[in-house]
Amino acid sequence: MTDKFIWTKKDLLGIEYLSAAEIEHILDTAASFKEVSTRDIKKVPALRGKTAANLFYEPSTRTRVSFEVAEKRLSCDVINMDMKASSVLKGETLADTGRNLEALKIDVFIIRHTYAGAANVLSKFVKGSVINAGDGKHEHPTQALLDMYTLREKFGKIKGLNVAIIGDISHSRVARSNIWGLRKLGANVVLCAPEIILPKYAREFGVKVTSNIDEALKDAHAINVLRMQFERDDIKSFPTPSEYFKNYGITKERLKKCRPDIVVMHPGPMNRGLEISSDVADGKNSVILEQVTNGIAVRMAVLFLTITAKRGENEILN
């Protein structure tokens, strides 16, 4: 870790747009922020006087709460906006929402949206930082960062790790962001799902794709178990939940055939007995709650770096 790293990106729109060095720098910074949450007074004044707007166009509890906790631990003022109940209903465009909030002198916008690219669009209209908290099926960068952070904490490094991503990959922005990040940091990625929902195009990203769960889990250092999104219409043709659990659910029996130190991750919320059994979710290989804790440190790092990013106009200073 070098003593000087000039962070220049005001936005975090996706892992796709980051270099390996930038990802590592976020993870290094997060490691330092983790300590803050262990203090009696869990707060530092780093972003005092800044204001964050959490714009959630799609329901979210854990991501929104995690961002809010991260913002508050950095002394940032927080405005939560449930966009479904606001001006969207009255027909306001994203650009106008952004401009109006900027007129209120907001410094950072956290946006969760049903449409892919919503964060990118917003970033074109505001001078403040934009952090993508999940856009359609596109990306969920802070989730991938906290997954990578957790892996790095467990194994020391990401390079050379075998990571299996199991489940509803084609609907998953978590999978997409993880694939970008893990490939950039040199991990080997296997995607596994029933043939019918397996995205074949994924091979273009340099990952292995299989519908054979045993093959995917063999030699894996870590499994990222995705939530089966049965509420989505286009998954109705799919095998029943009980069939899925039988063939792809992560159970104690399946883990027995894996490396003893295998790490089980899940971005939440979990469907117990569907994609993961309770004894695995609560078992010794599970890092699911550590992911939640690490999410705060990672989001603090992202907030801090994007808000204090060295912007273009500062370049002349040096």
Partner 1 sequence: MEKVIQTADAIEKTLQRMAYEIMEKHESVDNIVFVGIRTRGVYLAKRLKEKFDKAASKNAPIGELDITLYRDDLSQIADAPVIKATTINFDINGKNIILTDDVLYTGRTIRAALTELADFGRPASIELAVLIDRGHRELPISANYIGKSVPTSRKEFIQVKLKEEDKEDIVILGERNDR
Binder to partner 1 among 19, 21, 39, 203 (CB under 8 A)?
39
Strand order in the sheet with 188-192: 208-210, 188-192, 162-166, 222-225, 263-265
Between 242 and 314, whose beta carbon lies closer to partner 1? 314
Pairing of β 51-56 and β 77-82: parallel
Torsion of CA 17, 22, 28, 32, to 10 degrees: -80
With binding defined as CB under 8 A, does residue 313 bind partner 1?
A: no
Q: What are the C-alpha distances in Å from 263 to residues 136, 158, 209?
A: 27, 13, 20
Q: Give 78's DSSP letter.
A: E
Span of 80-88, 178-186, 233-241, 307-315 interacting with partner 1 by CB under 8 A: 307-315
Q: How far is the CB of 27 from partner 1 (least distance, A)?
A: 12
Between 1 and 103, whose beta carbon lies closer to partner 1? 1
| Alpha-carbon radius of gyration of the chain | 20
The footprint of partner 1 on this chain (CB under 8 A) covers a number of residues equal to 30
With binding defined as CB under 8 A, does residue 149 bind partner 1?
A: no
Residues 11-30 that bind partner 1 (CB under 8 A): 25, 28-29
Place of tokens 């530092």: 44
Residues 239-258 that bind partner 1 (CB under 8 A): none
Binder to partner 1 among 33, 109, 180, 245 (CB under 8 A)?
33
With binding defined as CB under 8 A, does residue 77 bind partner 1?
A: no
Between 145 and 174, whose beta carbon lies closer to partner 1? 145
With binding defined as CB under 8 A, does residue 116 bind partner 1?
A: no
> Residue 19: how many CB atoms within 10 A of its CB?
10
Binder to partner 1 among 35, 219, 243, 279 (CB under 8 A)?
35
List the one residue out of 295, 299, 298 whose CA is nearest residue 267. Answer: 295
- Residue type at 184 in one-letter notation: K
Interface with partner 1 (CB under 8 A): 1-7, 25, 28-29, 31-36, 39-41, 43-46, 74, 304, 308, 310, 314, 317-318
